[in-house]
Amino acid sequence: MKTEDRQLTIYEKWELESEDGMGFSDSLEFRFIAPADNKEMYALQWGCTQAHAEILVNGQNLAEMITRIENKIPEDDQVNMSQSDYGHMDAETLCRYLSGEITDDEGIPVLCCRDCGDEDCDSLRCSIREDGPYVICDRFKKKSGEAIKKGLSFRFYKEEYEKQLKLLKEASMEVPEDFRLTEWKSSDTDDSLCADATCFSATYRQGALVIGGQDFDREPNPITGDLDYEYFYSFDSENTLKLRNLLTADGSGFQDALRSIIASESPVAALREICEKQGIGYEYFSA
C-alpha cells in the first residue's frame, strides 16, 4: 500500500521533508482541565482555579507526545505523566502567546514547568509563523535551548487555527467567585419523589459545581423511614468548565443560567439532557 493511500501516523508526518509542497495539515484543538486533577505539582501545592488548557494535535496530547519523545517511550506504551517536565498553561496566557499578543525572543511557550507552573522556567517553546494559508509550528525546544526533535513540526490551516484560538479565548474568562443558589418547589414537580416540597441547589466552589435536590415528605418513607431524601450531581473542574462555557455561550451569566435550570419545571431532567447531549460528565450520589 502506498503511503499516500493510507492515513499517516504522526511519526511518519514528522519525517516528511518540509519542501514537499504542503501535502497535509494537522488538526488542533484545546481541552480544558484542572491542573490539580492532572496531579501537576504547582496546582497541588498552591491551589489553582483558573482554566488551564491541554493542546491536542491530531487528537494527541502535546505534553504526552513530547514526554514520549524525550523518554524514548514506544508508541504503543502508555505515557506516565509523572515522567514529564511539563505542565499545562492557563488558557488566557496560552491564548495570548499563540495569538501573538505576547512575543518572546526565546520562542513561544506552549507548556509550562510542571513543578512551578511558570512558562519562564522549564517550559516547552516553539516557533509559530504564517506560510500562505497555513500556520507552521516548529523548532520545538526547552527554555534552556535544548532541541526536542529535529524536524518536529505541525502545519495547521490558518482559518482553523484562528477558530480554535477564538474558542480558547472565550473559555479563558475568569473563574467566577464561589456561590450557592437555592430554589424551593411544591410537590407537583416531576423531579420530586412523592414529596410535599423539594429544595434544589447549585453550589459552586473553587471551580467545581454540585447541583443537588432534597425532597421532604410529611410521612416517613416506607423503605428508609426517613422524612427526606437527598441526591447530588457532582461535576469535577473540567466538566464544570465545559458546562459553564456551554451555558454562557449566549452571553448569559453563569449564575443566571444555573438559576434558570433549577427554577425550571424539571431541573434534573433538564440537567441530564444537557449533559448527555454535550458529553459532560458528572458523578451521581444520594443520601
Comparing 75 with 15, which gets the higher pLDDT? 75
- Among the listed ranges 62-76, 121-135, 154-168, 194-208, which one has the minimum average pLDDT value? 194-208
Neighbour tally for 142: CB within 10 Å: 18
> Does the predicted TM-score (pTM) go above 0.85?
no
Q: Residue 231's pLDDT is what?
A: 86
- Among the listed ranges 69-78, 213-222, 245-254, which one has the minimum average pLDDT value? 213-222
Q: Residue 267's pLDDT is what?
A: 87
Distance CA(190)–CA(244), nearest Å, equals 25
Q: Residue 5's pLDDT is what?
A: 46
pLDDT band for 173, please (50, 70, 90 cuts). low
Does 12 score more than 50 pLDDT?
A: no
* Mean pLDDT of the region 70-83: 82
Comparing 151 with 97, which gets the higher pLDDT? 97
Instruction: Show me where the domains of the chain are located.
Output: 3-171, 179-286
Q: What is the CA radius of gyration of the chain?
A: 23
Comparing 7 with 80, which gets the higher pLDDT? 80
Instruction: Give the mean pLDDT of the chain.
Output: 79
| Tens-place pLDDT, residues 194-241 | 446 678 888 887 678 899 888 776 566 665 666 667 889 999 877 888
Comparing 110 with 195, which gets the higher pLDDT? 110
Neighbour tally for 218: CB within 10 Å: 9
